[in-house]
Chains A and B, each alone.
Chain A
């Protein structure tokens, strides 16, 4: 499994005429689905159902959703036990308290404990709590992750550097339909003195999916 974020060897194979890595020009043949997307977009605009500004606005909203939003939710839950209860019992309203509207979808918060470690996958496609975390990482959408994490979760977690004791249950959550999932990681030992604000940068995206645990600084 590729877990390295900078796996781009081809970028370094530039020749003498190009002294810096570059991205390929996207002047290849237009595919069926690209053409369909473009045609549907043009039609929606032409029929005044939506306009170009609304499309751009949605793209900007999507780009503004980043994993740090999830980290803030977790840091709040670690620092405020009442908030944590609300987050587990009524996740939708609890995340709305921090300004995140998840629309018609439902959120389930999975608490990691001494006895259970949770990990999330969508074996069928790439369901992911985008309203909170933004776009999923490429590996989350890969066939390899989707097929292997349900079949041999401990091995996959090990490849992410996560060793879960055999006494502790590994619980895989397959996000197949209308629910979305956020893992509430275990607060690491040695962070008792840290403020909510100082906890945020410790909590990375992968911990919110459940492939790693949060480590003390």
Chain B
């Protein structure tokens, strides 16, 4: 299984996938946000394909990514420590590890 290690810095892609309105599991509010891999959940069939009855395709790795609330919402009212954990598929994530090293 390739992909991101626990703790890796990632950015959620902000594009809309080039397909018809899909059963997409990436909510709009998290697109473009930067977070860290909290855990690897395993590999599952892609819900964006399953929604069209295309069963048996390649499995995609699902991650749980942790975001800081104040990074998501500029005007977040609450504690600076507050966070959101959310499940995201690998093809929605961009690796920021290289950028972090620079």
Contacts and interface: CB of A to CB of B under 8 A. Distances in A.
Given A106-B41, A123-B27, A123-B29, A176 B79 contact: no
Given A123-B27, A174-B27, A152 B78 contact: yes
Contact of B88 (A123, A151, A176): A176
Contacts of B62: 177-179
Contact of A170 (B25, B44, B78, B86): B78
A171 B64 CA distance: 13
B83 interface: yes
B95 interface: no
A170 B87 contact: no
Interface in B81-102: 81-89
Contact of A174 (B41, B73, B82, B84): B84
A94 interface: no
B78 A154 contact: yes
Chain B interface bracket (under 10, 10 to 19, 20 to 34, 35 or more):
20 to 34
Interface in B46-71: 47, 62, 64, 69
Contacts of B30: 174
User: Which interface class (under 10, 10 to 19, 20 to 34, 35 or more) fits A?
Assistant: 20 to 34
Chain A, interface SS category:
mixed
A115 B49 CA distance: 40
A17 interface: no
Contacts of B21: none
Interface in A164-217: 166-179
Contacts of B86: 173-174, 176
A170 B47 contact: no
A106 B62 CA distance: 12
A52 interface: no
B73 A169 contact: no
B82 A176 contact: no
A136 interface: no
Interface of A: 106, 108, 123-124, 150-155, 166-179
30 contacts: A123-B27, A123-B29, A124-B27, A150-B29, A151-B29, A151-B73, A152-B77, A153-B78, A154-B77, A154-B82, A166-B78, A169-B81, A170-B79, A170-B83, A171-B84, A172-B82, A172-B83, A172-B84, A173-B86, A176-B27, A176-B86, A177-B41, A177-B44, A177-B47, A177-B62, A178-B41, A178-B44, A178-B87, A179-B62, A179-B64
